[in-house]
Structure formats: structure tokens, C-alpha cells
Structure 1
């Protein structure tokens, strides 16, 4: 099972904006040509990034730009912006819907896994906080 690609596509999108915004209009079509994704998906991700205050996008062919300095945007900020997380859920490790409460395994699966999965989620988030877009653009 693969995890959602929104995070990596969003980071790729932001890196394109940071790298090209001074020289080109960075549109969803432009970003799509770099990511290999459909421009519609790029526009959805740009919408989430704009709602989070990470990018600014002008309608039509106006293009996108960073709303913050690259050193002020952590990978965690991007992760939170595009996460499909709902209240009370982890965004990476979620449970299947109906474990059997009469089964000795199904009835205890949450009690067994909640803490280690919460710890793993927190470790992931802490690691993402350590890297900024500036760190990555410096390596391009």
C-alpha cells in the first residue's frame, strides 16, 4: 500500500515556484510539466497551499509565488497544508474501519497499536520540522 503523494507533489510544486518565480510565470501547467501530474491536481494542491498561507496564486495565467520566505516554510508546514487528516485521526497511520470486536485480535488492535503509531507520527512530524524549503533549494 502506498501513502498519499500529496506531500511530495506539494514540495515539488513549492520548489518549482521558488526556483522559477523570478524568471517565469509559474502556472499549474508549468508545474505539471515538471511534476508529471495533471494540472488539475496541481491546482488542488496550490489551493491547499494558498489556504495555508504558503503560496499566492493569481487566477488565470497569473502564476504562483511564495507567500513566505523559503526559510520560513518547513516541510511540516507543507505536510499540514496538504494532509487529509481529520479530527482524531493520524494522517499517516490510520486503522481499517471495522475490526471485529469479538475477535481476540480485532478487539485489542487499537490498544496494541495506538501508542506506537502515535509515537511514529510524532517522530515523522518532528523530522519534517527540521527541513525548510530553503534547505532544499540550496541543494538543487
Structure 2
């Protein structure tokens, strides 16, 4: 089964909102930036809105905005808001307990999985959307689609 891209796209969305702070971003422009369909963006935006990370501004010139400071949104927060499946799963069927490997593989492997997940969560918890936006801003070349949308071209 292919891995989910919701986390990467959610970080993409929130980073765009952080970089273009106080400037509503429509889903079509975000979708073009992420090279995906606007319906995918709207579905993930719904999850981000529910988590309290973003909000919608309706009407002419409307779009998505951050609902709270980018410095208060960690990558772990985003991950937990959009990813529902566990990172790792064990066997679908209970292994044969008549075999030493079958009997002990699950608890031994689960211990290592728990350590790996804890390390990942610690890393993601130490990085904010503001950190990602800062790194992107160092490379910024602007967003012509957004300039057109807001009538700056």
C-alpha cells in the first residue's frame, strides 16, 4: 500500500499560509503550488481547520489563513491532525506460538517500534511551521499566481 502524503501536503499548506501571512490563499493556488487537485487541498484544509490551525475567509479575495501563530504549530501537531493510520503495524494474523520466532516476535518488535516512533515524535515536536517557513523564505522567489490573484501584476 502506498504511503500517505497528507502530512507533506498539510505542511505545504500551512507553510504557504505562514509565508503569506494575513493574505488569504485560495485552494486553487495552493493546489497549483503543491501540484495536486484543489479538492485534495480542500479535504486537508478541512482537517487543518478542525485542528484549529487554519480558518477560511469567505467572499471576494477570500481563501485560507492561519488561525494561530505558525510558531505555535509543531510538525507533530500537524502529523497528528492529518494522519490516522499507525506508522507501523504488526502481523494481521497471530503468529504461530509453537515457533520461538512466532511466539516472541511481536513484543520484541513492538519495543523497537515504540522507540522509533518516540524518536520521530520528538523530532517533529521540535520543529514548527514557522521554522519551515523561515527555511523556505531563504529561498523565496515569490508566487506569481498569488500576485495575479491579489491584482499585483
Match of 1:84 in 2: 84
1:11 is matched with: 11
Aligned to 1:98: 93
Preserved contact between residue 21 and residue 64 of structure 1 (Cα < 8 Å): no
Tell whether 2:132 aligns with 1:136.
yes
For residue 55 of structure 2, give the secondary structure of its aligned residue in structure 1.
strand
Give the unaligned 5+ runs of structure 2.
137-153
Residue aligning to 1:124: 120
Distance 2:103 2:40 in 1: 39
Q: Counterpart of 2:84 in 1: which secondary structure?
A: coil
The equivalent of 1:72 in structure 2 is 72
What is the aligned-residue RMSD (CA, Å)?
Answer: 2.1
Equivalents in 2 of 1:17, 1:63: separation in Å?
A: 10
Quote the offset at 1:22 in angstroms. Answer: 3.7
- Say which SS state the counterpart of residue 139 (structure 1) adopts: helix
| Higher-helix-fraction structure | 2
Shift, 1:59, TM fit: 5.5
Change (3 A) 1:100 1:136: same
User: Runs ≥4 in structure 1, deviation > 6 angstroms?
Assistant: none
Q: Answer whether contact 1:7 1:83 (CA < 8 A) is retained.
A: yes
Indicate the structure (1 or 2) with the bigger Cα radius of gyration: 2
Q: How far does the alpha carbon of each residue in 1:92-114 deviate from its partner, in whole angstroms, 9 at most, with x for none? A: 11224224335623443311211
SS in 2 for 1:57: strand
Relative to structure 1, the CA distance from residue 60 to residue 99 in structure 2 (aligned partners, 3 Å threshold; closer, same or farther) is: farther
Equivalent pairs counted in the alignment come to 134
Residues 16, 133 of structure 2: 8 Å contact kept: no
Deviation at 1:55, TM superposition (A): 0.6
> Structure 2 length as normaliser, TM-score?
0.77
